[in-house]
Amino acid sequence: AHGHIIAGHAAEALASLAPAQLAFLKQLPKAELHAHLNGSIPLPVLQQLARDFLSSAAATPSSDSEAVRAGVARLQQGVVLNEIDEFFALFPAIYALTATPAALATAARAVLAHFLEPASPDSDASEAAYLELRSTPRETPAMSRAAYIEAVLAEVERYPPERAALIVSLDRRMSPAVAEECVDAAIRLRRAGRRVVGVDLCGDPRAGDMALFAPYFKKAKAAGLGLTLHIAEIEDFPPEETQRLLSFEPDRLGHATFLDDAAKALVHARRTCIEICLSSNLICKTVPHLDAHHIRYYLQHGHPINICTDDILPFRNSLLAEYAILMAPPPLGLGLTEPEVEAVAKMGMECRFRAAA
């Protein structure tokens, strides 16, 4: 959909499936619960936003336009990362292109269409039956954080509640005051009956002091919002930090790649859903190969997981392709059977956050 490119491991896994397996995966109702808006813009849409940006007055012939050109060129070529730290450097160029309410709305609409509209004219199956889109409210010269959320929410709410909802992301680099502003906005909108279902913690896993965010996570939970936290995404994530994040009683966890035994026991006892992003972990090199992926542990333990894409723009994957990785024979995939894949998809649907009553 929207000319999105699928490449690398994800594409190989897709190509390895028999037509009947592919047909089975396409019709399987899937929930995408971990997709970052600015990381999920289909490339052709990003290219159009770049053309608009470069031809508009907003682009003074400055380092800005150069950074945008270089950033978009890199995404066009296909991103190769040596380590996850390089991943976050991709975003300034993208952010320059979604800095007005109109451009942001265009991006949001394209991401929603990618996941929720039929993938091709000859089929009525969409990438996802249900999408919880997440995004970090940004203040720009053209909009406030409240205006940012409104612009995205208006696009989300073009779809019925059983198809789409919004998660407000807090970036670890935010000041506590900004984190509070975002949580307060999420709560206010939810109380007004708007489609905000949760709060997320994301961004550079080395940044920020999460002790300072504690009151806002508590507030969000008390207001009935779901809570999902990126946790232990890197090997040197401090175990105390993991324990601290778990003390906020998150409903779901992003990645959870490096949980120690104590954390695993807690997560297991609570049956906290793990959002699994296979291609993302392989490309960011936090997991060396599929054999070493933590999904195996959770599958073996019948623990709730949801299969997610994370950022289809740099990772060149798709939700269908992530499911193809589950099904493809090793070493390309995990070699799960159809009933096993069906059970995974069903678990994922059950991990959705609840809309306001």
Binding-site ranges for ligand 6MZ (CB under 6 A): 36-39, 87, 91, 135-136, 169, 171, 202-203, 230, 233, 280, 284, 310-311
- Extract the runs of DSSP E, i.e. beta strands, from the chain: 31-36, 130-135, 164-171, 196-202, 226-231, 252-255, 273-276, 305-307
C-alpha distance from residue 167 to each of 158, 172, 261, 308 (Å): 16, 15, 29, 15
DSSP output for 83-130: SGGGGGGGHHHHHHHT-SHHHHHHHHHHHHHHHHSBSSTT---BS-SE
Task: Report the C-alpha gap between 82 and 85 in whole angstroms.
Answer: 8
Q: Least Å distance between CB 168 and ligand 6MZ?
A: 9
When the beta carbons of 43 and 336 are compared against ligand 6MZ, the nearer one is: 43
CB of 31: closest distance to ligand 6MZ in angstroms?
18
Least Å distance, CB 346 to ligand 6MZ, is 25
- Dist. CA 1–CA 126, nearest whole Å: 9
Catalytic residue of the set 127, 132, 181, 233: 233
Residue 265 beta carbon to ligand 6MZ: minimum distance, rounded to whole angstroms: 24
In angstroms, what is the minimal distance from the CB of 35 to ligand 6MZ?
Answer: 9
Q: Which is nearer to ligand 6MZ, 230 or 316 (CB)?
A: 230
Shortest CB 26 distance to ligand 6MZ, Å: 26
Annotated catalytic residue 233: yes
Give the length of the chain. Answer: 357
Amino acid of residue 23: A
Spatial separation of the C-alpha atoms in residues 156 and 150, rounded to whole Å: 10
**Secondary structure percentages of the chain, helix, strand, coil, to 5:** 50, 15, 35
273-276 sheet: strands from edge to edge: 31-36, 130-135, 164-171, 196-202, 226-231, 252-255, 273-276, 305-307
Q: What single-letter amino acid sits at 41?
A: I
Q: Tell me the C-alpha distance between 300 and 325, whole Å.
A: 17
Give a three-class secondary structure readout of 216-231. HHHHHHHCCCEEEEEE
Active site residues: 233
